[in-house]
Amino acid sequence: TFSAADIGASKPYLVGTGGAGGAAGANNGTGGTSTTFGTGATLMQAGGGGGGNAGAASSTIAFNYGGAAGVGVVPTGGTGPMASGGAGGEFGISNFGVSQWNGRGGSSYFGQKQNYASTTSAGLTGGTGSGGSGAYVFVSGAAQPGGKGGDGVIIITEFTT
């Protein structure tokens, strides 16, 4: 919690954006940007999650790991956990050159992991604060891009006495 003196008349903020999914082909996704509230000695900052690793067709079984989770933080000058970290993305699998299963993006307090695809398709965009899924390619389907991560969020609740 913060006192009225901590907040003052106003505070600048920046809502982080979700990282881009990897371009079609064997390309990594990019990490999301941080969400911040305050300046200088920032009152709160939550880091964006990492981008997922590229997956390429393979003649054996290959695992491609998802992106790292964003980091939750305890605010400067406040008390208690104010920023919730998410879960990392799941791995994708390339299966003997027959198909490539997409990994699901990491979940957050506000958004769940995207479901697996069952036909050749681009990755799905993540919900608020969650990661986008990897693409799915079946047999000789064309390469597809990964899904964009969801944007961050700031929620402010004011209590008065």
6 φ/ψ angles, rounded to the nearest 5 degrees: -65, -40
Q: Per-residue confidence of the chain (161 residues) as pLDDT tens digits?
A: 677 777 777 888 889 999 998 898 888 889 899 888 887 656 777 888 888 877 766 667 766 767 777 766 655 555 555 566 667 777 677 666 666 667 778 878 776 666 666 678 888 888 888 888 888 877 677 888 888 988 988 887 777 76
CA within 13 Å, CB half, 68: 8
Percentages (nearest 5) of helix, strand, coil residues in the chain: 0, 15, 85
Residue where the block lists tokens 């600048």 = 12
Contact yes or no for 69/48 (Cβ under 8 A): no
Contact yes or no for 132/115 (Cβ under 8 A): no
Pairing of strands 99-101, 92-95: antiparallel
Q: d(Cα 112, Cα 156) in Å, to the nearest integer?
A: 22
